[in-house]
């Protein structure tokens, strides 16, 4: 209890000050009296508005009955029936104008049973009243920003022969009509249709209602009456709005409460003067308190601003005479020490994490929900060649472009936890194969980051895998050709050895010997093909007789050609120049070409090998009678392991073109 009565306590000082201010204010100003007067004036005003509303509804009912009576009287006039029987439209319309003027109407129309207009006092109206206005009492005509409301009634006219017409009378509920209601009720009157003003008794006119400022609106009561207050043309009004029909036509009565507002303002001025006196008296006490409280609080605020900027080295020392302020100062000093220690530990941990991330070989990247990069590690920069500052905030599809597929990068990594290999384009335009793994982060832990990607450059492994595959394909292809030729020679020896002469046996044995030498050469060639893949292939050109090179290739393939009954025609020019070329490579190329000509050419067909000399070059060409290569596949001739589509019955299984040279030199 003693601590609560301590005069150095901030709550005690503030409570005593506020109690003194409240007592002085209540004593100086009669707030309850002002409130009672306000309520009484308010009730009287709303009561007057409600009485006016009831009177307006009664006037509308009386006007409706009057229109109906005018419709009956107009339909029963003998002159109208006479003109209608005579079908004299001009006379009928003149009579309707006279009838309309005498009855104080705005429109009189005679309608047929088929909703067609027989005669009308106004042909300019935008709708056909006979088809649109015969089903209700109140009608709305859309004429732009301010619709028109008409009060209508109709009554049938009996004609000779049993046919029936109908007289429709209407009166426009315009500003003149609402002004008459103002004269009868002494209160402003407005007609609304579809939420838009149609007519008003305000002197400023209906156009000014578009600038109406609604200040408060309460919900409707059980009778659908809406109470509201607003300021119009600088005058405050109390209004009641009630529905006249179920299709959106409403009437609103408005009572000016400017006098009530003036009275209330006068009372407010009196109360304000009293509050001012009380405030001046309370300010003396406030000055005393502010001197004791504001100075240490300002110092604490300045110290907190220094903390906000990150400087936690300055200690808090406040000489406060208020006990609570001193307690706050001590608490802030303790919090500063703890926060400084925590920040030091966090900086150490952050430095360790950054060092750990920089030492990871794999690239690490995080994405937000829209696929934009929010983190890009040092490993990712080393792999992709992009600086972290250049890609942060960019869509991942713009940074990781896939040159060999139509899919985007984000579409290719949809599966959570799966490992995908993707070929991407690096910053320098080169391509690399990345092994990408995706995981989803919890939003609370990751902030803006939603997805984390870990990727590794596996391009070297993919190259080794491809070289091994190509090397095996080379072996399968290169060994098939000489083995097929050797097999053909062995078949001849087995089947026809007793019948062969020594010369023929010698030729077959020579062919087998050449085939074995060819296999030995192919082993060397395969190793050299691998050196091509590794970029270490070398050609050793020397001066050679091209006829001798062709002769060796022909001898190697002759047994295979004889097996399929194919004839080889060699066409050499009279003067064959000495060429500067690698004989082994040229022989290998010619054997491959002759083998393909035999494989894809028909049996018992002719194969031609010839030489053409063109200035400093010698061109060797092999022609067969096979189906050839289609136009669509010619662009793939120098790609490895391609199989041209052919319908040749003699086409054998092959591994495709393995090694090729674009030029002989």
**Per-residue pLDDT reduced to its tens digit, 382-430:** 888 888 888 888 898 888 888 878 888 888 777 776 677 888 888 888 8
**Per-residue pLDDT reduced to its tens digit, 423-444:** 888 888 888 888 888 877 655 4
One of 3.40.718.10, 3.30.450.20, 3.40.50.300, 3.40.50.2000 is the CATH number of 76-172, namely 3.30.450.20
- 3-class secondary structure, 102: helix
Which string of b and e fits 165-190 if b means at least 16 CB within 10 Å? bbbbbbbbbbbebbbebbeebebbbb
CA 91/CA 108 separation, integer angstroms:
14
Q: What is the CATH number of domain 360-457?
A: 3.30.450.20
Those residues whose C-beta lies under 8 Å from the C-beta of residue 593, and which sit 6 or more positions away, are: 622
More confident residue, 67 or 33: 67
- Per CATH, which fold does 464-636 belong to? Heat Shock Protein 90 (3.30.565)
608, pLDDT greater than 90: yes
Place of tokens 């000779």: 160
**Per-residue pLDDT reduced to its tens digit, 133-144:** 876 788 888 877
The residue ranges of every structural domain in the chain are: 76-172, 176-256, 360-457, 464-636
Q: Do domains 176-256 and 464-636 have the same CATH topology?
A: no
pLDDT for the residue numbered 319: 65
Query: What is the pLDDT confidence band of residue 129, given thresholds at 50, 70 and 90?
Result: confident
**Per-residue pLDDT reduced to its tens digit, 539-555:** 788 898 888 889 888 88
Burial of 241 (0-12, 13-18, 19+ CB in 10 A): buried
* Strand order from edge to edge, sheet including 606-614: 567-571, 606-614, 617-623
Query: What is the pLDDT confidence band of residue 302, given thresholds at 50, 70 and 90?
Result: confident
- The pTM assigned to this predicted structure is 0.40
Q: What is the CATH number of domain 176-256?
A: 3.30.450
CA 246/CA 140 separation, integer angstroms:
12
CA 367/CA 307 separation, integer angstroms:
33
pLDDT for the residue numbered 470: 67
455, pLDDT greater than 50: yes
Could you tell me if 278 and 25 are in contact, meaning their C-beta atoms sit under 8 angstroms apart? yes
CA 174/CA 179 separation, integer angstroms:
9
Tokens found for residue 135: 């089903």
Query: What is the pLDDT confidence band of residue 651, given thresholds at 50, 70 and 90?
Result: very low
Arithmetic mean of pLDDT, 623-639? 75
């Amino acid at each position: 209890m003693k601590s609560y009565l301590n005069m150095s306590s901030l709550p005690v000082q503030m409570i005593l000050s506020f109690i003194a201010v409240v007592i002085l204010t209540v004593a100086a100003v009669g707030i309850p009296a002002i409130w009672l007067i306000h309520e009484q004036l308010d009730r009287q005003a709303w009561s007057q508005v409600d009485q006016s509303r009831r009177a307006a509804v009664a006037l509308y009912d009386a006007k409706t009955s009057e229109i109906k009576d005018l419709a009956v009287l107009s339909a029963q006039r003998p002159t109208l029936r006479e003109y209608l029987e005579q079908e004299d439209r001009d006379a009928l319309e003149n009579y309707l104008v006279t009838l309309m003027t005498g009855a104080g109407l705005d429109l009189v129309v005679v309608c047929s049973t088929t909703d067609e207009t027989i005669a009308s006092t106004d042909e300019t109206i935008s709708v056909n009243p006979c088809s649109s206005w015969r089903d209700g009492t109140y009608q709305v005509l859309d004429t732009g920003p301010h619709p028109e409301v008409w009060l209508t009634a109709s009554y049938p006219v009996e004609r000779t022969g049993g046919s029936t017409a109908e007289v429709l009378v209407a009166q426009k509920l315009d500003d003149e009509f609402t002004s008459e209601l103002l004269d009868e009720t002494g209160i402003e009157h407005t007609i609304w249709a579809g939420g838009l003003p149609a007519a008003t008794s305000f002197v400023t006119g209906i156009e000014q209602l578009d600038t109406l400022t609604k200040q408060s609106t309460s919900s409707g009561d059980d009778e659908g009456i809406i109470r509201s207050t607003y300021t119009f043309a600088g005058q405050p009004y109390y209004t009641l709005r009630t529905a006249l029909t179920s299709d959106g036509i409403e009437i609103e009565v408005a009572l000016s409460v400017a006098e009530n507002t003036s009275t209330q303002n006068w009372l407010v001025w009196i109360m304000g003067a009293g509050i001012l006196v009380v405030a001046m008296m309370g300010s003396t006490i406030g000055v005393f308190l502010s001197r004791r409280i504001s100075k240490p609080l300002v110092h604490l605020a300045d110290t907190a601003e220094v903390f906000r900027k990150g400087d936690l080295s300055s200690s808090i020392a406040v000489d406060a005479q208020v006990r609570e302020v001193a307690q706050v100062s001590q608490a802030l000093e303790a919090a500063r020490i703890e926060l400084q220690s925590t920040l030091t530990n966090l900086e150490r941990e952050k430095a360790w994490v950054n060092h750990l991330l920089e030492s990871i070989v794999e690239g690490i990247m995080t994405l937000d929900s829209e696929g934009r990069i929010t983190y890009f590690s040092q490993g990712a920069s080393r792999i992709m060649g992009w600086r972290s500052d250049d890609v942060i905030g960019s869509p991942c599809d713009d940074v990781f472009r896939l040159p060999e597929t139509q899919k985007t990068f984000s579409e290719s990594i949809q599966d959570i936890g799966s490992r995908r290999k993707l070929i991407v384009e690096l910053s320098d335009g080169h391509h690399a194969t990345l092994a990408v793994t995706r995981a989803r982060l919890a939003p609370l832990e990751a902030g803006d980051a939603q997805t984390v990607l870990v990727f590794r450059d596996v391009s070297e492994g993919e190259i080794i895998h491809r070289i091994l595959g190509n090397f095996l394909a080379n072996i399968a292809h290169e060994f098939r050709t000489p083995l097929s030729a050797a097999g053909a020679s062995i078949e001849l020896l087995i089947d026809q050895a007793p019948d062969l002469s020594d010369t023929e046996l010698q030729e077959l044995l020579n062919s087998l010997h050449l085939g074995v030498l060819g296999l030995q050469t192919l082993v060397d060639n395969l190793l050299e093909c691998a050196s091509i893949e590794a970029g270490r292939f070398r050609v050793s050109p020397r001066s050679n007789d091209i006829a001798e090179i062709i002769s060796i290739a022909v001898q190697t393939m002759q047994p295979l050609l004889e097996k399929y009954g194919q004839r080889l025609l060699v066409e050499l020019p009279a003067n064959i120049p000495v060429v500067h070329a690698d004989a082994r490579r040229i022989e290998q190329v010619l054997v491959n070409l002759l083998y393909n000509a035999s494989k894809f050419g028909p049996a018992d067909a002719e194969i031609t090998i010839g030489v053409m000399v063109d200035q400093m070059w010698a061109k060797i060409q092999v022609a067969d009678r096979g189906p050839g290569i289609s136009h669509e596949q010619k662009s793939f001739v120098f790609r490895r392991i391609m199989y041209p589509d052919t319908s040749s019955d003699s086409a054998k299984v092959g591994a495709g073109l393995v090694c090729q040279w674009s030029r002989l030199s």
